Chain A
Amino acid sequence: MQVYSFYIFDRHTECIYSKSWFTPPPPASSSLTSPSTSRPQSQQPAPHASSVTSPPVASLVVAPPSAAALKRSKQKKDDDAKLIFGTVFSLRNMVRKLGGEDDAFIAYRTGQYKLHYYETPTNLRFALLTEPGALSMRNVLHQIYINLWVEYVVKNPLSPVEHKGGEGVRNEMFEMGLDKFIRGLM
């Protein structure tokens, strides 16, 4: 069961963390805007790169990224994050208007992927993209929250409370734990 990527948005609607494990093969008709046909598997937004994970299944050609290509794909990543946030935020608001305050938006599925959404009462939002056939990942997201986020980010006295620009989230323990956890599912 493939996990494609994972995003965390904070209560100020900013994307404070994103990570991809696997980029789904684009259908022949659509093409991505960056010159290389795929992002390098383990790319992280450049200023925050600490450790780079080794790519698992690589059915895609990985072109050596030039500086411009890196910048473009970073931009694309940011845009992706914004798009995703916009989508889930609107869907969540719509769900609340139609189903009452207690109703929650859980997931949506397209032909290419399934997006699972999880929101905590503190307005921290997780979005996980997996293959379309995946079962409910709500429990997975809950576990990520309890065992990784709270343990390694909240309880770390050295990480700030507000994670402007992702500060404090990219600590080693959180990343390692998250990586291990997700790979354990794949």
Chain B
Amino acid sequence: MSNLQPAKGSSKDQPGLRYPTSGKTIYHRPLNRTKAAELSGSSFAYLFSEMVGYASKKIESIQDLEKRLNVQGHPIGLKLLDLLLYREPTRSQTRPLNIITLLHFIKINVWQHLFGRAADGLEKSSDPSKPDEYMIIDNEPLVNRYISVPKDMSQLNCAAYVAGIIEGVCDGSAFPARVTAHSVGKQEEGEMWPGRTVFLVKFAPEVMEREGYLGKS
């Protein structure tokens, strides 16, 4: 299967690929060169809407579409984990070792890098029967800014793409999880954040076991 990688990790040099005569490959480019680069928000919006449009062909249900978006976001999360840790100042360059650190990393570093601001909230689920659920809250997800969902698809939340990215980050740091996006903003007058979205992070049981074990020692 071919993997196109906007790769920042180490990928071994592949004989057989042609390079331009200048000999410059992507390995010569400094990683931090495009750190603060910016592009127009519309370019992202158009690409994203084409992506959603392409994914919505041949699907049978809304869950299917959200799953596809999730799958597309996953590899990005993996790459972002490596990249953002690399860019951290050396003393904090260790990967997150417990859930809270990981979630803080996502809430602050990942969000700041992708959207230019930290996420708006991080909460542990208040349901005692579900100790493995945490919630990251975003009042106005960038990806939903230009999308207005028609009435017949009102359960669709295109932030499933961002949920996939979060899932990639979690999986990459050895905290396997399932992440889904839910819109909780109400479409009524006086609602400050009608697009408010909650990303529900549900960790796998072995993670909770490990947390419990580490917490005790």
Q: Chain A interface (Cβ within 8 Å of chain B)?
A: 155-158, 171-173
Interface bits B44-64 vs A (CB < 8 Å: 1, else 0): 010001001100000000000
A-contacting residues, B137-167, CB 8 Å: 146-150
How far apart are the CA atoms of A156 and B52 in the complex, in Å? 12
Whether B22 is near chain A, meaning CB under 8 Å from some CB there, is: no
* Most A Cβ at <10 Å: residue of B52, B146, B148: B148
Closest residue of B by beta carbon distance from A157: B49
Closest residue of A by beta carbon distance from B153: A158
B46 to chain A, nearest CB (A): 8
How far apart are the CA atoms of A173 and B187 in the complex, in Å? 13
Q: What are the residues of chain A within 8 A of B146 when measuring CB–CB?
A: 155-157
A-side binding surface: helix, strand, loop or mixed? Answer: loop
Contact of A173 (CB < 8 Å), options: B49, B52, B148: B148
Whether B21 is near chain A, meaning CB under 8 Å from some CB there, is: no
How many Cβ-Cβ contacts under 8 Å join chain A to chain B?
Answer: 19
How far apart are the CA atoms of A155 and B42 in the complex, in Å? 8
Q: Chain B interface (Cβ within 8 Å of chain A)?
A: 42, 45, 49, 52-53, 146-150
How far apart are the CA atoms of A157 and B147 in the complex, in Å? 6
- Tell me whether A158 and B150 are in contact (CB under 8 A): yes
A19 to chain B, nearest CB (A): 20
How far apart are the CA atoms of A172 and B53 in the complex, in Å? 21
Q: What are the residues of chain A within 8 A of B148 when measuring CB–CB?
A: 156, 158, 171-173
19 contacts between A and B (CB under 8 A): A155-B42, A155-B45, A155-B146, A156-B146, A156-B147, A156-B148, A157-B45, A157-B49, A157-B52, A157-B53, A157-B146, A157-B147, A158-B147, A158-B148, A158-B149, A158-B150, A171-B148, A172-B148, A173-B148
How far apart are the CA atoms of A156 and B147 in the complex, in Å? 6
How far apart are the CA atoms of A156 and B42 in the complex, in Å? 11
B150 to chain A, nearest CB (A): 6
* Most B Cβ at <10 Å: residue of A155, A171, A172: A155
Closest residue of B by beta carbon distance from A155: B146
Closest residue of A by beta carbon distance from B52: A157
Q: What are the residues of chain A within 8 A of B45 when measuring CB–CB?
A: 155, 157
* Most B Cβ at <10 Å: residue of A157, A158, A172, A173: A157
Question: Which 5 residue pairs spanning A and B have beta carbons closest together?
Answer: A157-B49, A155-B146, A158-B150, A156-B148, A157-B147
Closest residue of B by beta carbon distance from A150: B42
How far apart are the CA atoms of A155 and B146 in the complex, in Å? 7
Q: What are the residues of chain B within 8 A of A173 when measuring CB–CB?
A: 148
Q: What are the residues of chain B within 8 A of A158 when measuring CB–CB?
A: 147-150
User: Given known contacts A155-B45, A157-B45, what 14 new A-B pairs fall within 8 Å (CB)?
Assistant: A155-B42, A155-B146, A156-B146, A156-B147, A156-B148, A157-B49, A157-B146, A157-B147, A158-B147, A158-B148, A158-B149, A158-B150, A171-B148, A173-B148
* Most B Cβ at <10 Å: residue of A158, A171, A172: A158
A82 to chain B, nearest CB (A): 30
How far apart are the CA atoms of A156 and B146 in the complex, in Å? 6
Closest residue of A by beta carbon distance from B158: A157
B180 to chain A, nearest CB (A): 22
B166 to chain A, nearest CB (A): 23
A50 to chain B, nearest CB (A): 11
A159 to chain B, nearest CB (A): 9
A177 to chain B, nearest CB (A): 13
Q: What are the residues of chain B within 8 A of A156 when measuring CB–CB?
A: 146-148
A61 to chain B, nearest CB (A): 33
Q: What are the residues of chain A within 8 A of B150 when measuring CB–CB?
A: 158
Closest residue of A by beta carbon distance from B45: A155
